[in-house]
Amino acid sequence: MNVSVVLFTADLRLHDHPPLRAAAGGGRQVVPLFVRDRGVADAGFGCANRLAFLADCLADLDAGLRERGGRLVVRSGDVVDEVAKVVAETDADEVHMAADVSAYAHRREERLRAALEADGRRLHVHDTVTTAVAPGAVTPAGSDHFAVFTPYFRHWDRHPSRDVLGAPRAVRVPDGVGSEPLPAREDVSGTSPGLAAGGEREARKRLTAWLRDGIGAYEDRHDDLPGDATSRLSPHLHFGTLSPVEAVHRAREAGGPGAEAFVRQLAWRDFHRQVLAARPASSAADYRTRHDRWRSERDARDDIEAWREGRTGYPVVDAAMRQLRHEGWMHNRGRLLVASFLTKTLYVDWRVGARHFLDLLVDGDVANNQLNWQWTAGTGTDTRPNRVLNPVLQSRRYDPDGTYIRRWVPELAGLDRAFVHEPWKLRGLDRAAVDYPDPIVDLAEGLERFKRARDRD
Ligand SMILES: Cc1cc2nc3c(=O)[nH]c(=O)nc-3n(C[C@H](O)[C@H](O)[C@H](O)COP(=O)(O)OP(=O)(O)OC[C@H]3O[C@@H](n4cnc5c(N)ncnc54)[C@H](O)[C@@H]3O)c2cc1C
């Protein structure tokens, strides 16, 4: 037996891939396997945007493997059953895969280990494939994880990093291993019209362009809504077409305040992962309860619908929600302010918003999405859980000319900067000429309701 299986999950690349490197060591044959996991679809995670992006990633991974003499093997079904079948067909003695953090991933790993060991085979699980620093690698005294970002970051930043690995030159796949046809992006219906392209090549091109042209201004411009001056690497980090270890290395090499700010954001990604790894229930339950008694979904139905559709009457909120629908992606400043608006101004349960994001986001990710929602709702790790973002002030600050609003809310394209943030202030015929709703909530009343609910004056 000198065959290894590499089970690809959220690590769809050839560069800097420790499982592949370990599996192919000593000239062994390798089965690069991806299982279209029924469990993921059953859990409601099969959103069209991510399925289309995934199809690009698999096509590109297959192309990269073919250039090296190999190919990707794709199967569908229960991941443990499918791995066991491939192991039996090829008489592989070991399986390599990346560590992951969700409760689902932990269960998958345990089931897989048990099934393989019962059959005399071994499972090797590799750290620092989907994170730059492994969950649990840095911990505070007396706890299994950091609950506050700043001290986490101090430790994370000093933690020694492994070397970045090159892509293998050759991958030898045993003969006769059957594969289903690869899924095609065109076969996925209901995707966002402005959805980005996936795949490792695309990720590497984007990273190189970002390091050359974007990162220098990141510290100053990351909150600039119309400037769109962030890396847009999030879907690539989610699907693992880009290695977080490599992203950190290359950004540090680029150096400067922009790179430092960017690396800090990558640490946020690891921060949420180490929280979820230690507290798997935080994907669905409050990390820190504030004893909220959220408005019922039935009572808040019209408000929730208006929020989802981008017709709340608050232009910057609506612009961001429409960007989400159109691109399957939203600027971080937009995410912060629409989440604050839903959970605090409208006082709707963060899970309602998180679900809608997961239905559309191409980077939709259990750790980042659920824990950022909790952060914004004040039930997570924010040290100022009752802060409320005012959408008008946010809009004036991060979109001063209203360019972002006009891009996504064409009804307001003709308004000048005096009214574009607050169209309800138009009077008479000017107001009548604009086909745009009045605000669904008065900000002061929303704030009062929230303060009462959280028992504060
Ligand atoms: C309510 C809410 C929901 C979110 N849901 C997701 C999600 O499902 N998936 C997701 O990847 N990000 C999520 N984020 C975090 C953040 O908004 C996105 O990662 C970011 O906007 C992606 O754009 P970018 O790649 O251009 O980021 P950049 O600003 O270029 O940052 C680089 C990378 O750092 C990481 N990062 C940046 N900000 C954060 C953050 N606050 N938390 C964790 N990692 C971060 C991302 O991997 C990102 O690609 C959410 C934020 C909020 C407030």
Positive or negative, the CA dihedral 395, 400, 404, 407 is positive
**Nearest atom, ligand 1, residue 231 CA:** 30
**175 is a domain residue:** no
Could you tell me if 96 and 40 lie in one domain?
A: yes
CB–CB of 91/2 below 8 Å? no
- Indicate whether 300 pLDDT > 70: yes
CATH code, domain carrying 312: 1.10.579.10
pLDDT at 456: 66
Mean pLDDT estimate for the chain: 96
Examine the domain organization and report whether 252 and 319 are in the same domain. no
Mutate to test the pocket of ligand 1, among 133, 207, 363, 375 (most ligand atoms within 8 A of CB): 363
336 lines ligand 1 (CB under 6 A): yes
For 241, phi then psi, to 5°, come to: -75, -15
CATH number of the domain residue 58 falls in: 3.40.50.620
Expressed in angstroms, the distance from the first to the final Cα of the chain is: 70
pLDDT digits (tens, 9 = 90+) for 155-193: 999 999 999 999 999 999 999 999 999 999 999 999 999
pLDDT of residue 379: 97
> 16-68, pLDDT tens digit by residue?
999 999 999 888 999 999 999 987 777 767 799 999 999 999 999 999 999 99
More confident residue, 1 or 32: 32
In this prediction, residue 26 carries a pLDDT of 85
Same domain, 370 and 422: yes
The pLDDT of residue 27 = 86
Q: Among residues 220, 254, 248, which one has the least CA distance to residue 233?
A: 248
Structure tokens at 77: 């079904």
In a domain, 183, yes or no: no
Question: Do residues 108 and 216 both lie within one domain?
Answer: no
Residues 16 and 92 occupy one common structural domain: yes
The reply to whether ligand 1 has any atom less than 6 angstroms from the CB of 236 is no
pLDDT digits (tens, 9 = 90+) for 141-159: 999 999 999 999 999 999 9
pLDDT-derived band at 428, boundaries 50, 70, 90? very high
pLDDT of residue 38: 82
- In short, whether 233's Cβ falls inside 6 Å of ligand 1 is yes
Is the residue at 306 inside a domain? Answer: yes
| Per-residue pLDDT, 1 | 58
100 and 50 within one domain: yes
Contact 32, 8 (CB under 8 A): yes
> pTM for this structure?
0.97
Residues 6+ apart with CB under 8 A from 193: 326
Tell whether 244 and 135 lie within a shared domain.
yes
Atom of ligand 1 lying closest to residue 237 CA: 47
Nearest residue (by CA) to ligand 1, atom 51, is 372
Q: 332 C-alpha to center of ligand 1: Å?
A: 6
Residue 18, phi then psi, degrees to nearest 5: -55, -40
Per-residue tokens: 311? 């017709």
Identify whether residues 379 and 321 lie together within a single domain: yes
In a domain, 41, yes or no: yes
Q: List the binding residues.
A: 218, 230-234, 262, 363-365
* Ligand 1 center to 45 CA (angstroms): 18
Does residue 296 fall inside a structural domain? no
Instruction: Say how far apart CA 344 and CA 295 lie, in whole Å.
Output: 11
Minimum-distance ligand 1 atom for the alpha carbon of 234: 49
Q: Please give the Cα distance from 305 to 312 (Å, whole number).
A: 9
Q: Which of the listed residues 219, 246, 278 is the one where a domain comes to its end? A: 278
Assess whether 260 and 156 both reside in one domain: yes
Q: Is residue 192 part of a domain?
A: no
Q: Which residues are annotated as a binding site for FAD?
A: 218, 230-234, 262, 363-365
Question: 365 alpha carbon to ligand 1 midpoint, in Å?
Answer: 10
* Residues 313, 207 share a domain: no
Using the mean position of ligand 1's atoms as its centre, give its distance from the Cα of residue 110 in Å.
29
| 120 and 145 both lie in a single domain | no
Find, among 362, 346, 365, the residue nearest to 354 by Cα: 365
Instruction: pLDDT band for 236, please (50, 70, 90 cuts).
Output: very high
The CATH number assigned to the domain holding 213 equals: 1.25.40.80
For residue 4, give the nearest of 65, 90, 77 by alpha carbon.
90
Q: Which domain holds residue 121?
A: 3-130
Specify the residue with its C-alpha closest to ligand 1, atom 5. 369
Flag whether pLDDT at 455 surpasses 60.
Answer: yes
Q: In what order do the strands lie in the sheet with 94-98?
A: 73-77, 29-37, 3-8, 94-98, 122-126
- Using a 6 Å cutoff on CB, does residue 339 contact ligand 1? yes
Does 341 lie in the same domain as 224?
no
Q: What are phi and psi of 64, to 5 degrees?
A: -65, -40
* Domain total in the chain: 3
366 touches ligand 1 (CB under 6 Å) = no
Asked if residue 112 has pLDDT above 60, the reply is yes
